[in-house]
Amino acid sequence: MTTIHKGQAPAKLDRNAFRLQFHRAFADPAYGHIAEALAQVEQVAWQAYDAGHKAPHTHPAGPGYADPTYALSDEWRATRDRLLQAEQRQKDPATPSRILLINGSARNDGTCPGEMSKSWRMVQWLRQTLQAPSPHGAQDVRVLDLSRLTSDYDQHIHPCKGCVSTAMPLCHWPCSCYPNHATRQVNDWMAQIYEEWVAAHGVIIVTPVYWYQAPSPLKLMIDRLVCADGGNPDPTSTQGKKAELAKEMELTGWPYPKHLAGRAYGVIVHGDVAGIESLRRNLSDWLSWMGLVPCGVQAELDRYVGYYQSYAQSHEELDRATAFQQEVRNVGRAVAATVARMRAGQHHQGDEGLARPRPK
């Protein structure tokens, strides 16, 4: 057995520090007339924090789990059940092909920037293209707008905690790190986002470049999808988050299941100065690593829009980029065509059926 290395985490908040942290969320004077009620809520929140009430609603896991008696989170089970239903629909040949369009930009006109993003406009072009009559039929198009993290009330994608680096089986599919009611790490959007990915036959990510990298909402989602690449579908096998058990399981032999493999993907990256090629490669490499299927050269697009021009006129530069607009639409067409061939059993890759010598 390997050693569990400890000593990094800070001490828990004491009673006074917790009170100060709690009340920072209610600095608006409008809360003043209910100060006594807030104090009562704070007392209950302290008790939940101090006792570590991560999952206050649980039931025995039941049949089909390694430990049927383990107190499994009701919220995790509900998410898992939705994923199983989504997977069943996705594999049903009678259902229409579903394409998930992901807007990776953090900008929208409902918050500080005051204007929609160019990525959002590209998503609309893709939606129009995919819903138009075609030889592959109209697609069931879903849109995931990650900019809502910046504008919606109490909407979160909490950061990945890195369980996979302790041992792969400690990373559960779907993620069981959230919600954590003891620390008020709640309202985690990923429970719904996992379902969107599982239900899709194809995924297209549209994103700008932020400082040579993916925008933070997109990167948060990417990190939280690590559980789709080797994640453990049975939290009872590790008794929740017991590192010792997870390490033992991985060292005994772990299959690293790819829970999203076999879905088609496209990528559109745009920028104004630098970084488009590296981000496009990063996204394509990540999606391919998870077992998603590339759809050809025209489905992986990186272009500059308004190269070294003012930010103020970037939408006008996009209006003038008519060839780029068609390239964006071609990404959608390529993904739709690949999905159609895959579902008809006509799309094959050269490495199909080959065992991975190093499955991680």
Q: Which pLDDT tens digit goes with each residue over 28-66?
A: 999 999 999 999 999 999 999 999 999 999 999 999 999
| Phi, then psi, of 96 in degrees rounded to 5 | -65, 155
Q: Which two tokens stand for residue 250?
A: 């991985």
Q: Please give the pLDDT value at position 1.
A: 65
Q: Please give the pLDDT value at position 110.
A: 96
Three-state DSSP state, 16: helix
What is the tens place of the pLDDT at every residue in 8-24?
999 999 999 999 999 99
Q: Please give the pLDDT value at position 355.
A: 86
Q: Please give the pLDDT value at position 137.
A: 77
What is the value of pTM for the model shown?
Answer: 0.97
Q: Please give the pLDDT value at position 166.
A: 98
For residue 253, pLDDT over 80 is answered with yes
User: Quick one: average pLDDT of 326-337?
Assistant: 98
- What is the percent of the chain with per-residue pLDDT over 90, rounded to a whole number? 94
Give the other-Cβ count within 10 Å of 226's Cβ: 19
User: Quick one: average pLDDT of 305-322?
Assistant: 97
For residue 138, pLDDT over 80 is answered with no
What is the tens place of the pLDDT at every residue in 267-283?
999 999 999 999 999 99
Q: Please give the pLDDT value at position 359.
A: 79
Average pLDDT value over all residues in the chain = 97
- What is the percent of the chain with per-residue pLDDT over 70, rounded to a whole number? 100
Across 168-202, b (16+ Cβ under 10 Å) vs e yields: bbbbbbbbbbbbbbbbebeebbbbebbbbbbbbbb
Q: How confident is the model at residue 71 (pLDDT cuts 50, 70, 90)?
A: very high
- For residue 112, give the DSSP letter: T
Q: What is the largest CA-CA distance in the chain?
A: 68
What DSSP assignment string belongs to 50-110? Answer: HHT-S-S-EEE--TTSS-TTSEEEHHHHHHHHHHHHHHHHHH-TTSPPEEEEEE-----TT
3-state helix, strand, coil in the chain (%, to 5): 45, 15, 40
Under 8 Å between Cβ of 309 and 317:
yes
How do beta strands 58-60 and 71-73 pair? antiparallel
Q: Which two tokens stand for residue 242?
A: 């017991």
- For residue 174, give the DSSP letter: S
Q: How confident is the model at residue 86 (pLDDT cuts 50, 70, 90)?
A: very high
Residues in the chain: 360
Q: How confident is the model at residue 358 (pLDDT cuts 50, 70, 90)?
A: confident
For residue 327, pLDDT over 80 is answered with yes
Q: Please give the pLDDT value at position 135.
A: 87
Q: For tokens 């059926």, what's the residue?
A: 353
